[in-house]
Each structure stands twice: as C-alpha cells, then as structure tokens.
Amino acid sequence: MAEAGDFNSADEVLRLEGIGKSYNLGLPTEAEVLHGIDLALTRGDFAALVGPSGSGKSTLLNLIGLLDRPTRGRIQLLGEPTAEMSDAELTARRATTIGFVFQFHHLIPAFTALENVLMPHMLRRGRPNPKASAWARQLLTDVGLAAQIDRYPDQLSGGQQQRVAIARALAARPALLLADEPTGNLDTVTADGVFELLRRFNRTFGCAVLVVTHDPRLSARCDRVIELVDGRIVRDERHAAADN
C-alpha cells in the first residue's frame, strides 16, 4: 500500500458558508437551485451526498469541485477563500487538491492504464519524471492492476477501468476526493470492490471523501450522510459505518 500523503496540517479541508446558486440571473426564467448551503468536510471524512433527482446534488458537487462559482456565499478550500481566485488559480487548485471519480471513468482510449494515471501530471508538468512514474505504478498496484499497467482501456473490464480512474484521481495526493455515482454502472460485486478501494484510500491517506450515490446500501456504509432536498440540506448525520 502506498504511503499517506501530507496534505495539510489543518483538519478542515472544505467549508461552504451560505452558498446559493441561481441560473438565468435577471431573466424571467431565473431559478435558484441551491439555498444557503452550510457544509464543512474535514480530513478523514467519508461522507455520502444523497437526495432525489433534481435536488441540486450535481450543482453542489460542481461548486465544491471548483468547476463553477456560487451566486452567493463563500467557499474555502484548505482555509483559502476561492471567491477572488482567477480561473487559472481555480484550475491549479483542482489539479493539486481535488481528485474526481465519475460514474463513467473518462479514460483516454489511446493511452495505457499507466499513461492515464500519469495524465494529470503530464498536463501540469509535461513528460513524467521517474518519481511520478513510480508513484503511478504503485497506485495501480494498490488497486490490484499491477498486471494490467500496459493495457489499454478497451482491454480492461468496467470495474478495472474504474480502478484506473480511482488511481488517476489519487495521483496528485488530493486533500479532497469527489466521487459522483462511482459505482452506478457496475454490478453489485464490482461496486462493492470499488467502494472498498475508496474507503481504503480514505483511511490510508486521510483525505476527505464525498460520494454522491443513489444506492442506500453504499450510503449506509459511509460515516456521514448528507441529504439534499430541493436545494437545501435537510439531514447531516454521522454514524458508525457498517464496515468499520
């Protein structure tokens, strides 16, 4: 197992204060999707974000992932307010601080598993150095793909491709890992394996993990459940996860 990364000395990774998000501002069709969201995630948190379709989960995840800006309120990432950051600065923060895992893995077909994991590094710094390559190989070993390092995505099963995506998300040793329905297109056994990987890295690295899921079995195994309904948090409770 790879060693834990040194993300930040502070416990708090993310803080949202009074976050609101509206679309079509100033038009007759203006609609507010999020209404005064307050939320904090700390190192080691393993939380599920749940709620019915249309509740605002995707919008909230985009804001947390710095892919969009709120209409009002404040977001702090590792203690830094993001409101005054330029688009280039936000992109840099995403690359170094946040890892993303999606339902559809978005691997690059022309690249091997190893090259896909190295892609974030190559986008930031160009040709990978030996240290980055060794780290990517270690991550692929940690997710059980040591024998598939040089295979292309179409030579891997759906579960294996998702494992590559998890390794890629962890390549920068992020302080925050966001997983949007990461098991949504997998069978039950494979989904359980992917969930266990997320849990294992959460415990090993101490990164905060937020998993968006419609699967009550998975949310029940998280340490914390945050429920969003009509753009408002209606429940935020911690409990002892079933697999602890």
What one-letter code names the amino acid at 47? A
Res 240: pLDDT = 66
Res 205: pLDDT = 82
Residue 224 is encoded by which pair of tokens? 């914390």
Res 76: pLDDT = 94
Res 8: pLDDT = 41
pTM of the shown model = 0.84
Residue ranges in the chain modelled with pLDDT below 70? 1-10, 125-126, 240-244
Domain ranges of the chain: 44-52+87-224+232-238
Res 132: pLDDT = 87
Question: Coil, helix or strand for 59?
Answer: helix
Res 170: pLDDT = 86
CATH 2.40.10.340 applies to domain 44-52+87-224+232-238: no
Question: Coil, helix or strand for 176?
Answer: strand
Question: Coil, helix or strand for 186?
Answer: coil
* Cβ proximity of 168 and 137 under 8 Å: no
Q: How far apart are CA 199 and CA 237, in angstroms?
A: 18
- The beta strands (E) that lie in 43-168 are given as 46-50, 72-77, 80-81, 98-102
* Cβ proximity of 210 and 44 under 8 Å: no
Res 241: pLDDT = 52
